[in-house]
Amino acid sequence: MEDGEGPIEQMLRGVRSALHARGAELVERVRRIEAALEVYRDAVEIELAREFAREHGFKQPAAHAVGADRAAQLLEAAVRTLPELSRSETPAVPAPAPEPSRRPSVEAPVRLAPRYPRLLSAAQEGRIVIIGALTGRDRTDAVAPEIAKHVEWIDTAREGSGAVGNLPQRIRQGRVAAVVILERAVQHRHTEPVMAAAREAGVPAAFAGKGGTGALSRALDQLEHSIAQRA
């Protein structure tokens, strides 16, 4: 006991010391999460910049030392150190076995709302046409499954300007719902008549860089947004 310090003062000093120690642990946990979050944010931003540069032919920035997937795992591990999460986890309770005399009920499948409801509605009246130098490209899973069956691919690499054929006329006749152009994989002389017909007929059009999966997804999002604005 320090000089002049009574039992109550000594107890309070011990309480303050214990609270300070616990507070230090809390600060350390938060700092670990903040550091992991910053690494994840930097990794995602760099991957986004590299994808954009690749699609548009720009010089790519240097890759991050930690990939976005690994950064996400580190962030998840840091968050899982929170004691509140370990306390909230409850052991799984096994489901009771069905009674032998009854047939187990079959749950109806969950139907998810389509990602492109307006574009799908428009595709009932016409095709979604994707134009570009497509020879040698893997079109498997290139677009969302709900959209894929409504897509018509036109390969200008194989047939040149002849591949476009009567597409401008089909657009003016209302037989085309939307147009996607791979502007980094097609010449402008192949697409100028198509774009002119689309503007004239009010058919939405979007560009998809070199036709990567991400670029095509963003182009479909843009088409959905364009149709929503015209509604």
Alpha helices in 57-155 (DSSP H): 68-79, 83-88, 117-122, 145-148
Amino acid 200: pLDDT: 94
Amino acid 110: pLDDT: 47
Amino acid 129: pLDDT: 92
Amino acid 137: pLDDT: 65
Amino acid 58: pLDDT: 82
Amino acid 99: pLDDT: 58
Amino acid 95: pLDDT: 59
Amino acid 170: pLDDT: 93
Residue ranges of domains in the chain: 7-88, 117-230
Q: Identify the burial level of 216 via C-beta atoms within 10 angstroms of its C-beta, where 0-12 means exposed, 13-18 middle and 19 or more buried.
A: buried
Amino acid 175: pLDDT: 94
Residues of the chain with pLDDT under 50: 104, 110-111
Q: What are phi and psi of 8, to 5 degrees?
A: -65, -45
Place of tokens 């401008």: 168
| SS3 (DSSP) at 210 | coil
Cβ distance 46 to 64 under 8 Å? Answer: yes
List, as own/partner pairs, every contact residues 45-50 make where C-beta atoms lie below 8 angstroms and the sequence separation is at least 24, other chains included: none
**Architecture of the domain spanning 117-230:** 3-Layer(aba) Sandwich (3.40)
pTM for the whole thing?
0.51
- Identify which of 137, 131, 151, 129 has the alpha carbon closest to the alpha carbon of residue 191: 131
